[in-house]
Structures are given as C-alpha cells and as structure tokens.
C-alpha cells in the first residue's frame, strides 16, 4: 500500500516545470555514468540525465502506471519492490544510485541506504526536510504539516520515516556514511543559512566509509 | 471475450468481421534439404517446417518478428483459415492490425517447431526413408535445435535480422536462446512467463506426464501409428496435470470452486465442475495432439539450461548477447514464477544490457501470458511501438 503511493511522490511532490533538484543531481553525476534510479516514477529524471549527460542505466519502479510511462519514454525500468532490497544488482555495479524523494516512504530505511551503498560507488538521497519552518509552524499550530512537498493528510500519507536534516546528518555519522556534498533548496533557491530551518528539500551525495 | 483454456490454445469469440483481426490466413510449408545436426548427436537429413506470416515484409526486411510457441502451440498464431472457423489462432488477441503486435508495422512469422504435430517434421510425419511415420525414431530435439531450424526458416524467407523474437513459457526459452546463439540476428527479445531452466518441480511434473503416456498400453513404445491407435488415456492425464499447473489455486477457486455438476451421485463419475473441465480439456487434447510430440516438447523443456556449460553462471552464458530485452512475469504463475524471470533479468543486468522487467499482477497463473489483460497488453504494445524498423 505504502509503496504504491510512495512511487507517486516523484511526480506529485514537484512542479515538473521547475526541477532545481534535477540540476543539482546532474551536477553530481559524471558524463556517461551508469545510474540506477530507485523509485524512478515516470522516468523523468533518468530522461533528463540521459539527454544532458548521456547516462545509461535503469529505473526501479513498482507502480504499474509509472512503469508503463517509463517504457513509453524509452526508460529501462525494472518492476520490483525496494523494500525487498536490491538483490538483483551486483556490488558496486553502478556509478551512482539515486533515491529521490522516496526515503521517507520506505519501511526498511537503513536497509535501503546500505543496499544503495553496496550497489553504487556513490549514492544520492533526497528527502523533504521535516525541520523546515513551515512544517514546524503547522505543528506549533497543532496540525500535522501538509504542503506542496508533503501533500498528504496524516491518515493517507505513505510517509512513514520523515526526518530533519539534523536527523539525517546524525544517521550518516552513526552509519559511517561520508557526506561528499549536501545541498538544501527551498522553492528552487539554494539555502546556506540555517538549512534545517529554512530548507525544504534536502539533497545528499554520499559514499561508504 | 477470450476464454483461455490452456498454455497453447484458446478460444476467442471475436468475430471475423472484427477490424483488428488479421482475417483469413493460410499455412505454408518450407522444405530444407541440408542436414540438421542436432544437439543429441543425431542428424536429421532433411526436414520441413509449417509456418504462417501476417503483415508485409518491408523493403529493408527490418520489420520481421518471430513468435515461438510453447508446449502445445503451433504456427497458427492469428487469424482464421475460413470464415466459418470457430477458433482463431492461439495468440490472436495479441497479433493483428492495431493490436499490441501490430501487423500494420511488423511482418510476423509463426511456425510449428521441429518435432511438432501440426505440419512440421515430427514423430507423426512420414519418414522418407521408410515411408512410414517416424514414431519413436524421430530424434529428440532441443531448444537449441529449434532455434537453429528457425534460422533456416529465416534464411528461406530472405530475412537476416529479426526486429524481435517473442515467446512465452517454452517459447520464451527459445527467444532467450536466439539472443545467445545469434546475437547479430535479433534486435529485441521478449521473454514472457519463462525461466532460464526448469526447476526440479517442473521436471517432476513433466515426468509424471510422460509416464502417463508411456505406460498407456496403446503407446507401443512410441510406434502406435503402426497399430492404428493412440495412447489417448495417457495423453489425457498428461494434459489434465498440465492444466492444473497452468492455473493458480485462486483462479481455479474463482472459476470452479466446489461447484457441482449436478446433485451428488456418490460415485466416481464427474461430480464437480473442476473434474468436468479437466476431463473436457483432456479429451479434447488427446483427440488432436500427438503423444510423441508431447514427450519431446516436455523433454526440450527439461533439457534447456544455457548456464550449464558455464558452471551454472547464467550471466556468463549471456556474455555475447546484444539484444534488448523485455522480460515479463505474472504474480500468480507458480510454474514459471517471477523469481525465475528475475534470474534472467539479473543476468542481463550483470552484462549491462538494455532490459526492462514487468511483474504483472494477474490471478490466472501461467495461463495469464495468453490472456487479454489490459495492463499486460499495454506493456507489450508500448514496448513494441518503440521498436524502430
């Protein structure tokens, strides 16, 4: 259940016309790289990376409609449930493994990050920052946050593991994951000052050890 | 409305006036006089293959698609032989003008495999050296042998490269083998409800089917033609067993449940609808299929294992593959389960090949690959539309 909805996150959380996060991801990926995009939605990101960086690779998607959209736009896509891990993929067989806007909806959060680190030389993880001031405001006012980035009601949300930037920094430290680079954006603007308060979307470029 | 009834045949109620039907078709035969070296070591001095084609071969000869059949299929993939024919070809729901495998775009070839009983050289065809049916003398043929014989048909038709090779189940094994043995001759391989080899359980089912046939007193060690009889009882049981495994428990429950034919009679005649269905299917099949062919088809399934010469390493077996792949499995298919398709996908990924994989949620078990499911057909349509010819 959670997964079916989770895979819509890519397309519903963002205004497709404006993808600052795509530009940042592209900046972290080398020309001609081999990329695996987990929870790839309709394949928009992979299409963007193919056209801008001539990347090769695959998307992983569980939802039937998204899967079909990938095929229609020429994206290689493997239909499987990320919760079961990445056993179909060999160690270090990708330059970059991406988990865009999906971490918060995963049940096996630790496992998927470890699996990504196993399969990719580098990984990119992006998630909505729960510490963003607008979310905090809504909680202060007594309600669960609902926004463009978190467009669900408490009772129908696929998001089961929401976290803040501080939480994720600690997660990386605890799991001995190196943060190569971190960018935080709000409405397409990069946030450098008090990112855990002013940042809406957190983007991490990570590697093992 | 499609009523599916086996892994090789189905009944469609679509009318001949249906504009998406290919219409009236005719079978053809291609004769080959160059000897065929078989994997078993035997040599077939000459052979012929029954085939049908749909659509038009383009000038570049770049739009050919070959369909490989499964256990009990044949070359009659689509259309009808006469307007009065009740049944269309076995994959008529897929192949035709504007259908997912669009004959306005592709030139589609269906053939009856070597060893078959629908017009190609097989145990029931006449051995030219004896002028009698081959019977038990017809050699054992393998998936590898079939693919070699299929290249002969392609040569005969003057086609160098296939835009796509398509097959479900045992047909999927042939599609996979095409990509391994003839990487330059196949651009796309669609491997549906298939596996890179059979599991022990699958071999076991095949062995029970074969034992049913071979222990039938009418079998006469495979030479029943000379005795003017047919091991119908054995073939019937073999087919009944097959049908059980092609359906899922849920699909059977939904279709038949514990429905009774009539009131209980407290005897061993048909009491349940399930029994009635199995007996009907068994009788029908035993009346039209050749037992020796059935034995050989199941053996071809058992033997196929491309990873064998690579110490079980399927990825190594696929190292020369160039084709792009679409692999499809069905969630309720326990005879060729999704896990088996994922093995193929993994080997393709290991070789950095172009592959997409769909796991279709379907209730109908192995038979689902022959059925008209909206999402499944949308998958095939989308993939085939993107193939450049």
Q: Using CA atoms, how far apart are residues B17 and B21, in angstroms rounded to an integer?
A: 8
Q: pLDDT tens digit string along B178-214?
A: 999 999 999 999 999 999 999 999 999 999 999 999 9
Each residue's pLDDT tens digit, A63-121 = 999 999 999 999 999 999 999 999 999 999 999 999 999 999 999 999 999 999 999 99
Residue B386 has pLDDT above 90, yes or no: yes
Question: Across-strand partners of A125?
Answer: A99, A204
DSSP assignment string, B354-386? -EEEEEE--SSGGGGGGS--HHHHHHHHHHHHT
pLDDT per residue as tens digits for the range B295-331: 999 999 999 999 999 999 999 999 999 999 999 999 9
User: Residue A1's pLDDT is what?
Assistant: 31
Q: Is B386 on the interface with A (CB under 8 A)?
A: yes
Distance CA B382, CA B389 (A): 15
In whole angstroms, what is the distance from residue A94 CA to residue A84 CA? 19
Say yes or no for a CB contact (<8 Å) between A67 and B383: no
Mean pLDDT of chain B: 94
Give the three-state DSSP class for B31.
Answer: strand
Chain A residues touching B354 at Cβ < 8 A = 76
Mean pLDDT, residues B352-380: 96
Residues B324 and B316: beta-carbon distance below 8 Å? no
A182 and A204 in contact (C-beta within 8 Å)?
yes
> And the tokens for B140?
């054992």
First to last CA, chain B: 31
Instruction: Say whether B358 and A88 touch across the interface (CB within 8 A).
Output: no
CB B198 within 8 A of CB B304: yes
Of A77, A90, A93, the CB nearest to B356: A77
For residue B19, name the pLDDT band (cuts at 50, 70, 90).
Answer: confident
CB-CB under 8 Å, A71 with B356: yes
Torsion, CA A194, CA A199, CA A203, CA A206, rounded to 10: 20
Which of B346, B348, B356 has the most A C-beta neighbours within 10 Å, making it the best mutation to test the interface with A? B356
pLDDT of residue A93: 97
Closest CA to A45 of A82, A64, A20: A20
The answer on pLDDT for B16 being more than 70 is no
pLDDT over threshold 70, residue B56:
yes
Task: Examine the pLDDT at A17 and tell me if it is beyond 70.
Answer: no
CB-nearest to B356 from A78, A89, A93 is: A78
Whole-structure pTM value: 0.93
pLDDT at residue A49, as a whole number = 96
Query: Which contacts qualify for B257-265: CB closer than 8 Å, 24 or more apart?
Result: none
**C-beta atoms of A77 and B386 within 8 A:** no
What beta strand segments (E) does chain A contain? 34-38, 56-61, 77-79, 94-100, 120-128, 177-186, 189-190, 201-208
Distance of alpha carbon B178 from alpha carbon B170, whole angstroms: 13
Minimal Cα distance from A75: which residue of B? B356
- Active-site residue set of B: 169, 333, 366
Confidence of residue A20 (pLDDT cuts 50, 70, 90): confident
CB atoms within 10 A of CB B251: 18
- Chosen from A32, A61, A66, A71 to mutate, greatest number of chain B CBs within 10 A: A71
Chain A interface includes B18 (CB < 8 A): no
- Whether the CB of A94 is below 8 Å from some CB of chain B: the reply is no
User: Following DSSP, what letter does each residue of B257-282 receive, concatenated?
Assistant: TT-BSSS--SSSS--BHHHHHHHHHH
Question: Residue B161 in contact with residue B186, Cβ under 8 Å?
Answer: yes
Weakest mean pLDDT among A4-13, B27-36, B83-92, B131-140: A4-13
Query: Tokens 């790839």 — which residue?
Result: A40
Lowest mean pLDDT among B129-133, B156-160, B295-299: B129-133
Residue A12 has pLDDT above 60, yes or no: no
Q: Tell me if residue A20 falls in helix, strand or coil.
A: helix
Q: For the domain that residue A41 is a member of, what is the CATH number? A: 3.40.50.150
- Report d(CA B54, CA B329) in Å as an integer: 26
Residue A99: which domain range? 5-208
B352 close to A (CB below 8 A): yes
Average pLDDT of span B145-149: 98
Provide the domain count of chain A: 1
**Residue among B23, B290, B304, B286 nearest B142 (CA):** B304
Query: Contact at 8 Å (CB) between B336 and B193?
Result: yes
Rounded-to-integer distance, Cα A121 and Cα B21, Å:
51
Separation in Å, CA A81 to CA A40, A101, A195, B64? 12, 16, 32, 35
Q: Helix B291-303 and helix B143-156: axis angle, to 10°?
A: 110
Chain B residues in contact with A93 by the CB 8 A cut-off are 349-350
Rounded alpha-carbon distances, angstroms, from residue B66 to A40, B149, B174, B196, B214: 32, 13, 10, 20, 33
pLDDT of B18 reads 62
**pLDDT, position A209:** 87
| More confident site: B271 or A16 | B271
Each residue of A140-197: pLDDT tens digit?
999 999 998 899 999 999 999 999 999 999 999 999 999 999 999 999 899 999 999 9
Beta strands in B271-354 (DSSP E): 324-330
In whole angstroms, how large is the CA radius of gyration of chain A? 16
Of B17-21, B32-36, B130-134, B188-192, the range with the lowest mean pLDDT is B17-21
């Amino acid at each position: 259940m959670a997964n079916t909805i989770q895979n819509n996150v890519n397309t519903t959380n963002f205004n497709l016309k404006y993808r600052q996060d795509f530009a940042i991801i592209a900046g972290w990926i080398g020309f001609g790289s081999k990329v695996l995009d987990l929870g790839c939605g309709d394949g928009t990101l992979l299409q963007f990376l193919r056209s801008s960086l001539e990347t090769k690779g695959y998307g992983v998607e569980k939802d039937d409609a998204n899967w079909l959209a990938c095929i229609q736009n020429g994206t290689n896509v493997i239909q499987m449930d990320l919760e079961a891990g990445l056993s179909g993929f060999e160690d270090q067989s990708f330059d970059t493994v991406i988990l865009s806007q999906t971490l918060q909806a995963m049940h096996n959060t630790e496992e998927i990050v470890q699996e990504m680190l196993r399969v990719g030389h580098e990984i990119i993880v992006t998630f909505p920052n729960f510490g963003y001031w607008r979310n905090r405001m809504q909680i202060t006012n007594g309600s669960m946050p609902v926004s463009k980035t978190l467009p669900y009601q408490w009772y129908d949300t696929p998001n089961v593991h929401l976290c803040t930037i501080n939480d994720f920094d600690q997660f990386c430290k605890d799991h001995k994951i190196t943060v190569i680079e971190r960018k935080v954006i709000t409405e397409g603007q990069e946030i450098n000052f008090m990112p855990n308060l002013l940042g809406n979307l957190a983007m991490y470029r990570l590697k093992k050890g | 409305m499609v009523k599916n009834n086996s892994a090789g045949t189905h009944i469609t109620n679509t009318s001949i006036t249906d504009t998406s039907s290919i219409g009236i078709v005719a079978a053809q035969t291609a004769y080959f006089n160059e000897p065929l070296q078989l994997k078993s070591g035997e040599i077939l001095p000459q052979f012929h293959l029954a085939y049908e084609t749909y659509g038009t071969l383009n000038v570049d000869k770049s739009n050919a698609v070959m369909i490989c059949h499964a256990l009990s299929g044949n070359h009659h993939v689509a259309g009808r032989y006469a307007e009065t024919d009740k049944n269309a070809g076995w994959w008529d729901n897929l192949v035709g003008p504007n259908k997912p495998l669009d004959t306005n775009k592709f030139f589609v070839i269906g053939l009856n495999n070597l060893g078959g009983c629908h017009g190609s050289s097989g145990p029931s065809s006449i051995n030219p050296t004896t002028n009698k049916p081959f019977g038990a003398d017809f050699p054992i043929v393998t998936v590898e042998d079939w693919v070699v014989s299929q290249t002969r048909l392609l040569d005969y038709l003057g086609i160098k490269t296939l835009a796509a090779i398509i097959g479900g189940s045992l047909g999927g094994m042939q599609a996979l083998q095409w990509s391994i043995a003839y990487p330059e001759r196949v651009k796309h391989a669609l491997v549906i409800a298939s596996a890179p080899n059979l599991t022990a359980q699958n071999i076991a089912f095949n062995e029970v089917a074969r034992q049913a046939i071979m222990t039938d007193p009418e079998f006469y060690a495979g030479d029943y033609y000379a005795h003017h009889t047919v091991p119908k009882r054995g073939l019937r049981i073999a087919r009944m067993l097959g049908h059980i495994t092609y359906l899922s428990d849920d699909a059977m429950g939904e279709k038949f449940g514990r429905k009774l034919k009539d009131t209980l009679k407290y005897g061993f005649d048909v009491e349940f609808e399930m029994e009635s269905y199995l007996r009907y299917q068994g009788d029908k099949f035993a009346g039209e299929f050749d037992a020796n062919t059935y034995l050989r088809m199941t053996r071809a399934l058992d033997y196929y294992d491309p990873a064998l010469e690579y110490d079980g390493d399927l990825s190594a077996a696929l190292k020369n593959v160039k084709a792009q792949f679409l692999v499809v499995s069905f969630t309720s298919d326990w005879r060729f389960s999704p896990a088996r398709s994922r093995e193929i996908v993994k080997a393709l990924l290991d070789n950095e090949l172009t592959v997409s994989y769909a796991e279709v949620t379907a209730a109908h078990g192995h038979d689902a690959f022959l059925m008209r499911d909206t999402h499944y057909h949308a998958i095939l349509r989308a993939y085939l539309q993107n193939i450049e010819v």
